[in-house]
Amino acid sequence: MPMHKEAKIYVAGHRGLVGSAILRRLRAEGYSNIVTRTRQELDLTDQRAVYQFFEAERPEYVFLAAAKVGGILANSTYPADFIRENLLIQTNVIDAAYRYGVKKLLFLGSSCIYPKFAPQPIKEEYLLTGALEPTNEPYAVAKIAGIKMCQAYNKQYGTNFISVMPTNLYGPGDNFDLETSHVLPALIRKFHEAKVAGAPHVVIWGSGTPRREFLHVDDLANACLFLMNNYDSSEIINIGVGEDLTIAELANLIKEIVGYQGEIVFDTTKPDGTPRKLLDVSKIFNLGWRPRIRLEDGIRSTYEWFVRNYNC
Ligand SMILES: NC(=O)C1=CN([C@@H]2O[C@H](COP(=O)(O)OP(=O)(O)OC[C@H]3O[C@@H](n4cnc5c(N)ncnc54)[C@H](OP(=O)(O)O)[C@@H]3O)[C@@H](O)[C@H]2O)C=CC1
Ligand SMILES: C[C@H]1O[C@H](OP(=O)(O)OP(=O)(O)OC[C@H]2O[C@@H](n3cnc4c(=O)[nH]c(N)nc43)[C@H](O)[C@@H]2O)[C@@H](O)[C@@H](O)C1=O
């Protein structure tokens, strides 16, 4: 059953890339009873605080978009933080959702849960059929635990917790820190700063040959609301666009959009990560959902957002 417009909805992680987009979308669609807490107000790794919050607020629906998130370097530098914080946050929120009678919860997984060498495009059924990519294995193991926890609670307690697997995301509100960000915001920043400084070249990590798929976060938010209102299965479901490109192609596209004239240099001492990560999106497409924002348009608007918000 779809959420009614006055339903009490908790968006966990509402200041992040995904949570802020879900909040925008909920407000745009007229949902008026939305609960949020900053990390300062509610640390989701603190079980007691999470139970107290659910007991006091009694949300009917939960979008679980709070997590420890980062790009390839952050994941490989802080594996302990990635597994610990994600296990704690998701365990606390999923368990509290069960204990305090949440009608439906949407858990955000990630495409990195699939085997490193999964056949392409990646179908949902490939989960746990092979070894994971080492640069983000602890994060992926935490996400897989979250999926299994939702499924186990549905089976044992009859809850309605769904798990969605988005591909790589980007958009307004992304993390542009060069040490911890994902590739797309990192390249926007690198090309912009090189243009402003008149630098002769921009360094791209790895060989440029890995392929990635990119989904604008406003499309992702749209998909999350669509699934919250139309999907009631324990089976995981992919969210993507169904097309990918190489990191070198992405770099050239961003270079052109930013208007940078210099060279691109590849630093092959940095990891490539998974060689290819293209999701099979036939399941969500068959339900009637489609992304709307073309990659080039999405990068252009995200670049404009970056320039406005980073004061450069
Ligand atoms: N970005 C991507 O490319 C992809 C993301 N996803 C998934 O989407 C979800 C959201 O990711 P994204 O929006 O990119 O991440 P962000 O880092 O942008 O946002 C994460 C949010 O979680 C909050 N948070 C983190 N730790 C805690 C804590 N201990 N207590 C309370 N709040 C906390 C952060 O709060 P604060 O702002 O205070 O730090 C922030 O609002 C994650 O589950 C991620 O795995 C899936 C696929 C791709
Ligand atoms: C969403 C997903 O995101 C991560 O996996 P990833 O897709 O490998 O992440 P990424 O965006 O950081 O890199 C993609 C590719 O791009 C190359 N690359 C080039 N130059 C830069 C660069 O400047 N920064 C970054 N970060 N990467 C660069 C980089 O070497 C790699 O080949 C995991 O957190 C994983 O857990 C997860 O869920």
Q: Quick: pLDDT tens for 46-65.
A: 999 999 999 999 999 999 99
Per the structure, the complete domain to which residue 70 belongs is given by: 9-173+214-243+277-294
Query: Ligand 1 atom closest to Cα of 112?
Result: 47
Query: Ligand 2 atom closest to Cα of 181?
Result: 26
**What's the mean pLDDT when you consider all of the chain?**
98
- CA-wise closest residue to 244 among 282, 209, 292, 290: 209
C-alpha R_g of the chain: 19
> CATH no. for residue 77?
3.40.50.720
DSSP secondary structure letter of residue 113:
G
Look up residue 206 and give its two tokens.
Answer: 């790895």
Helix (H, G, I), strand (E, B) or coil at 246: strand
Which ipTM score applies to this complex?
Answer: 0.98
Helix (H, G, I), strand (E, B) or coil at 130: coil
Quick check: CB of 216 below 6 Å from ligand 1? Answer: no
Annotated binding residues for substrate, as ranges?
190, 205, 212, 272
**Averaged pLDDT for residues 85-109:** 99
C-alpha distances in Å from residue 223, one per residue of 125, 143, 165, 193: 20, 19, 11, 33
Q: Looking at the domain assignment, is residue 203 inside a domain?
A: no
Look up residue 243 and give its two tokens.
Answer: 């097309």
| Measured distance CA(116)–CA(109) in Å, rounded | 16
pLDDT tens digits for range 102-141: 999 999 999 999 999 999 999 999 999 999 999 999 999 9
Give the H or E element holding residue 168.
strand 168-170
Angle at 41 between CA 35 and CA 46, to 5 degrees: 100
Tell the residue nearest (CA) to atom 22 of ligand 2: 183
Total structural domains within the chain: 1
Q: Looking at the domain assignment, is residue 305 inside a domain?
A: no
State the distance from the centre of ligand 1 to the C-alpha of 265, rounded, in angstroms.
31
Look up residue 193 and give its two tokens.
Answer: 């700063």
| Measured distance CA(181)–CA(283) in Å, rounded | 29
Question: 218 pLDDT exceeds 70?
Answer: yes
| Measured distance CA(133)–CA(209) in Å, rounded | 16
Quick check: CB of 181 below 6 Å from ligand 2? Answer: yes
- Would you name the residues annotated as active-site residues? 139
Model pLDDT, residue 312: 63
DSSP secondary structure letter of residue 233:
-
- Read off the pTM: 0.98
Annotated binding residues, as ranges?
13-19, 108-111, 143, 166-169, 182, 190, 205, 212, 272
Q: Looking at the domain assignment, is residue 83 inside a domain?
A: yes
- H helices of the chain, in order, are 17-28, 47-57, 72-77, 79-99, 137-157, 183-197, 217-230, 247-258, 282-286, 295-309
Helix (H, G, I), strand (E, B) or coil at 107: strand
- Report the C-alpha dihedral over residues 57, 61, 101, 125, rounded to 10 degrees: -140
Query: Among all ligands shown, which has an atom nearest to the Cα of 106?
Result: 1
Q: Looking at the domain assignment, is residue 288 inside a domain?
A: yes
